[in-house]
Each structure stands twice: as structure tokens, then as C-alpha cells.
Amino acid sequence: MSVDKDKITDLAVQRWATAHSPRVAELMTALVRHLHAFAREVELTEDEWMAAIEWLTAAGRMSDDKRQELILSSDVLGLSMLVVQLNNRFSPQATPATVLGPFHIDGSPAVAYGFDMSDGIPGTPLFITGKVTDTHGSPVAHAVLDAWQADADGAYESQLPDIDEARLRAKYRTREDGTYCIRTIAPRGYAIPMDGPVGRLVRATDISHFRPPHVHFLIEEPGYERLITHLFQEGGEYLDSDVVFGVEDALVVRFDACPAGAAPDGSVLAEPYLHAAYDFVLQPR
Ligand code: BEZ
Ligand code: FE
């Protein structure tokens, strides 16, 4: 039986509807419908289709356990942030989630209140302090705050060769009263990796390839939804053009400039520093 272009979509949908799992059937039939509609809408040429296949092949070849070009493509298309928003519909009081990004490393060392996770790496000292609470304002004790960030050159640990100690990442725990204190250095805005197929595509547009200055957090405590989020520096560059669409107003925080002297961790600093105060609010399960 010949398959003409008016029948092919229905036929492909019927075939994929036979998937043994109802969810796989739902996903695959919708995917077929949307892909076919896309090809029809833009009248996809064979050369364009082959260029797309070559692009996907290059993105796959470039990806490994340190570099994930396909996640990066999902990030710059806004798909990663959309999936975060669809899956983390917290109450309005809870701290919003944002993208995980490709640079989280499992197994960061557990450290004490006020520990300096920058450990001598050059930069302006930054303290981030506050509480972790539930949506009623009650403190959450012993919650784990896994924090990570780029250095002042915009490099994450996994982008640097031969690092054998945790660099700008650590796991803090809240105290009995829910308080935490992180010492680090001020993050800077940085460019996403531009040396692969995603970079080639982004360079063919007017899209800014920068992310605004931020520190990442993954906060976990039994009984609460896991919170993957960032804190962004108020007034930082690229807040209005984040290439991965990760900025939420509720995550933009003032980094107050403080003179040398008494610091939030109880120590005395010989140089001026920045201080960001932020209370994270976890969504009960
Ligand atoms: C990040 O914030 O680390 C990040 C997120 C998405 C793409 C690239 C980097
Ligand atoms: Fe980041």
C-alpha cells in the first residue's frame, strides 16, 4: 500500500501507539505528530534534514562524562528550564527551582558552618548566610546545601585538567535553628562552552552566550522536595539575557559590599568583602 504525504503522519502515529508502555506510546505519538508538523511548516529540505542529522551526530560525539553537548542544546533552546518549571510547581512561598547545569559533581566534601570553599582561589570574598525553612517559616535543621560555582575566570572544576581536590564546591549543613554560612569568592558572569556544535549554532545568531553571576545549590532534606537552584547577584551582567533562561526574580539577591573587619562567620577579615543574605524555603513533600 503506498503511503502519501497526507497519510504518513496518521500511519506513523498508529504504529508508535503500539508501544507496550502507555507513557511511551503517549510520548512517541506526540513526538511523531510534532516532528511531522515541524517538517511541514518549514517545508524541510533534504539538505537541511541532513545538516540537522550531522549536527546531532557531532553533538553526540562531543559528549562524554565531562562534556554534555546535548544537554547544552536543550539548555539554550529553553527546553531544560521549561522541564524544570513543569516538574517543580512549588507553592509561591517556596524558593523556585532552576536548571542544574552540566557542572555539578557528586560527592562534594561535607564541611562546617562558615567553611571557605574557595580555599585561596583569587577573588573577592563572599559570604552567603541565611536560614533554610519550610513554607510556614519553621527552620529545617541538618538540611544539606550542596554548593558549587565557577571561579573568577568562569571555569568550573570539571573544565580544568588535573584537579584532585574539590574546587569551589562543598556540602554544608544547616544548624539546629536552620541557619547556614558559606564562605566563597564572588562569582562572575561566564560564557557557556562555545567550541562545539551548540556554539556554532549560537554564533549564527544575535544570542548572547553568557550566564549572569551565580552560585548553584542543591538542597536536600527528607520530607521536602529536592531543591535545585541558583542565587544570582543583583545588578550582575547578563541577568536579562541568560543564555539558558535560568533567572527567576526570587533568586536575584543583593551582594552587600562590607568593609574589612568582623565577618558573618565570626572571623575578622583584613579586606573588604561581599555579603548575600538569603533564606531558602523548601516545599514539603
Ligand atoms: C551552569 O550554570 O553551570 C550552566 C547551565 C547550563 C548550561 C551551561 C552552564
Ligand atoms: Fe553555573
Could you write out the DSSP letters of every residue in 161-184? SS--S--SEEEEE--TTSEEEEEE
Copy the grid coordinates of residue 69: 553537548
Alpha helices by DSSP H, listed for 66-174, are 69-76, 79-87
Which is it for the CA torsion 112, 118, 255, 268, positive or negative? positive
Contact present, 178 and 133 (Cβ < 8 Å)? yes
Nearest CA to ligand 1 atom 4: 101
Give the amino acid at 275.
Answer: H
**What pTM did the predictor assign?**
0.93
Closest alpha carbon to 168 in 114, 117, 101, 100: 117
Q: How far is the CA of 103 from the centre of ligand 1 (A)?
A: 7
Nearest CA to ligand 1 atom 9: 101
Q: How far is the CA of 246 from the centre of ligand 1 (A)?
A: 9
Could you please state the CATH topology (level 3) that the domain comprising 79-282 is classified under.
Answer: Protocatechuate 3,4-Dioxygenase, subunit A (2.60.130)
Question: Cβ < 6 Å from ligand 1: which residues?
Answer: 72, 75, 99, 101-103, 192, 211, 244
pLDDT digits (tens, 9 = 90+) for 80-103: 999 999 998 889 999 999 999 989
Q: Give 46's Cβ-side CA count (13 Å radius).
A: 0
pLDDT digits (tens, 9 = 90+) for 105-163: 999 999 999 999 998 899 999 999 999 999 999 999 999 999 999 998 889 998 888 88
Say how far apart CA 255 and CA 276 lie, in whole Å. Answer: 5
Neighbouring residues of 256: CB distance < 8 A, sequence distance ≥ 6 = 274, 275, 276, 277
Share of the chain above pLDDT 90, in %: 90
Where along the chain do its domains lie? 8-64, 79-282
Contact present, 114 and 267 (Cβ < 8 Å)? yes
Pairing of strands 125-134, 179-185: antiparallel
Neighbouring residues of 140: CB distance < 8 A, sequence distance ≥ 6 = 132, 133, 134, 174, 178, 221, 224, 282
Copy the grid coordinates of residue 156: 568550573
The H or E element spanning position 224 is: none
